[in-house]
Amino acid sequence: MEDLFDSTPPTETITAEQFYEQVLTGNDPYDGQPVLVEDRIILDDEKKWPSSLIIRNYHFHDHIGLYNLANITVTFYQCSFYQQFRVDNGTQVESLAFDICSFERLIFEGGEVPGYISIHEIRAKYVEIHWDLRQIKKNITFSRGYINKVNLSYAMGNTIRFTGVTADAFALQGYIRAKIILSGLVVKTIGFNGYEAEESMLQIEDLNPRDDSTSFGLWHSNMSNCEILNCNLNGFKKVTIQDSFVSKMTVANIRWKKTIEANGLEKQRETYRQLKTLMKRHNNRVMELHFAAKEMEVHYQSLSWKIDFIDKFILATSKWSNKFGQNWLLPIFWLLLVGFSFFFLVVYCSSIGLKAHWGSYFTFLNPTHKVNFIPNHTLSNASMTIDFISRVILAYFYFQTVVAFRKFVKR
């Protein structure tokens, strides 16, 4: 975790009463130098605050909160909060702004704010937004800065926006009825657990991993009303999608992780099935084929040779012949190798010299060749039996080659 607070020590230490007096009078005896307030601070309706309250260069050692504060604009500039800062129910400020501030804990639980809540260049250990924010009439905006942990849970309100923020852990969970916009985030871990986006709106844009040990996860979440744009999911070390509904998302310009994690093969197969459907909806043929192949691969792994022998055999031949329709070179390799093996058996069983008639191998690769395809020689019964079997197998490899080669053509 990064160092959150300014290393420059405050020049003076004052009490809560001294702080109230300085703020009410607008007097700054310290010429803009940082000052430590050692007591708990409560900004409420018991004092006659000015209509525009600007608080600069204070370090708050104890808790600070807004309680029942009404009809004023509050701005904090270059302040540090070493304990919890809370915006509680009953607060009715016109607008609330933090500029270049550091927090131990910043919590929004409610209150009424007709204007904007703006947090610019934040540095915080923990930010939590939850419960009823419907009385915040406009946006809560976080722009730039660093947050160790963000938790959005069960929030109801207008728009919550994070832009250009770096975070170690970012979590959305529970039933949220608010528009959430995450733009330009750089995160180490981002997760959605039990998140419901169907009746709200979630937009994720320009999401990038912070380092090479990052993770992106969806668990038990409904992402129906979600947009993911210009995001590098492939840069995350681990991407997990489990027990979540993702097939109706809107996505564009996404670099997908090739392997998506889930707890169990059946759940992983369902994830690939939904992603395949999602890619089909967006006419992304390349990733549709990729996720379709991954779905078949996981299904193959889940089957048992003893119980599901036929299905397992069919999937095994598809896997090893052309990687479930993804590799056209593989069936050509098997065609030449298996074809030569059968050709050797044919000439051996008919006592025909291989060295003298090796050129007939290429005739043999044609499944429609004549029975006696070697000039001046008649095949034995054993050779004709082998020849018949080879025609079926070689035809299968030709078919698998065509299927893989035309994989981008919708059938």
The tens digit of pLDDT for each residue in 238-248 reads 999 999 999 99
Pairing, β 41-43 against β 64-66: parallel
Q: How far apart are alpha carbons 18 and 21 in whole angstroms?
A: 5
Q: Is the dihedral of CA 70, 200, 141, 41 positive or negative?
A: positive
For residue 150, pLDDT beyond 80: yes
Q: What is the DSSP letter of 283?
A: T
Per-residue pLDDT, averaged over 166-174, amounts to 89
pLDDT band at 110 (very low <50, low <70, confident <90, very high): low
- Interior angle at CA 143, CA 60 and CA 139, nearest 5: 95
Q: And the tokens for 212? A: 């090479």
165 membership: H or E segment, kind and range: strand 139-175
Q: How far is CA 162 from CA 67, 107, 120, in A?
A: 25, 15, 10
Q: 389 or 65: which carries more pLDDT confidence?
A: 389
The gap from C-alpha 192 to its chain's centroid, in whole angstroms, comes to 9
What contacts 200, CB < 8 A, 6 or more positions away? 176, 177, 178, 179, 180, 225
Q: And the tokens for 351? A: 């006592």
Question: Nearest Cα to 366, choosing from 404, 341, 335?
Answer: 335
Q: What is the DSSP letter of 327?
A: -
pLDDT tens-digit map of 172-197 = 887 777 788 999 999 999 999 988 76
For residue 132, pLDDT beyond 60: no
What contacts 66, CB < 8 A, 6 or more positions away? 43, 44, 74, 86, 87, 88, 91, 93, 96, 111
Q: Which residue is it, tokens 């007096």?
A: 21
Tell me, what's the pLDDT at 332? 93
Q: What is the DSSP string of 284-315?
A: -HHHHHHHHHHHHHHHHHHS-TTTSHHHHHHH
pLDDT band at 27 (very low <50, low <70, confident <90, very high): confident
pLDDT tens-digit map of 7-22 = 566 778 888 888 888 8
Q: Is the dihedral of CA 83, 88, 91, 94 positive or negative?
A: positive
pTM of the shown model: 0.79
For the chain, the average pLDDT equals 85
For residue 274, pLDDT beyond 90: yes
Residues 233/212, Cβ–Cβ less than 8 Å? no
Q: How far apart are alpha carbons 269 and 292 in whole angstroms?
A: 10
Max CA pair span of the chain: 116
Per-residue pLDDT, averaged over 392-407, amounts to 88
21 membership: H or E segment, kind and range: helix 16-25
Burial of 336 (0-12, 13-18, 19+ CB in 10 A): middle
- Interior angle at CA 253, CA 279 and CA 143, nearest 5: 130
pLDDT band at 146 (very low <50, low <70, confident <90, very high): very high
Partners of 162 in beta bridges = 142, 182
The gap from C-alpha 253 to its chain's centroid, in whole angstroms, comes to 13
pLDDT tens-digit map of 185-235 = 999 999 999 887 656 688 999 999 988 889 999 999 988 889 999 999 999
Tell me, what's the pLDDT at 372? 82
Tell me, what's the pLDDT at 205? 94
Tell me, what's the pLDDT at 18? 87
Give alpha helix (H) positions in 120-201: none
Q: And the tokens for 99? A: 């500029």
Burial of 306 (0-12, 13-18, 19+ CB in 10 A): exposed
Q: What is the DSSP string of 213-274?
A: T-EEEEES-B-TTEEEES-BGGGSSEEEEES-B-TT-EEES-B--SS-B-SSHHHHHHHHHH
Tell me, what's the pLDDT at 4? 58
Percentage of the chain modeled with pLDDT above 70: 89
Percentage of the chain modeled with pLDDT above 90: 38
According to the 3-state scheme, what is the secondary structure of 267-279?
HHHHHHHHHHHHH
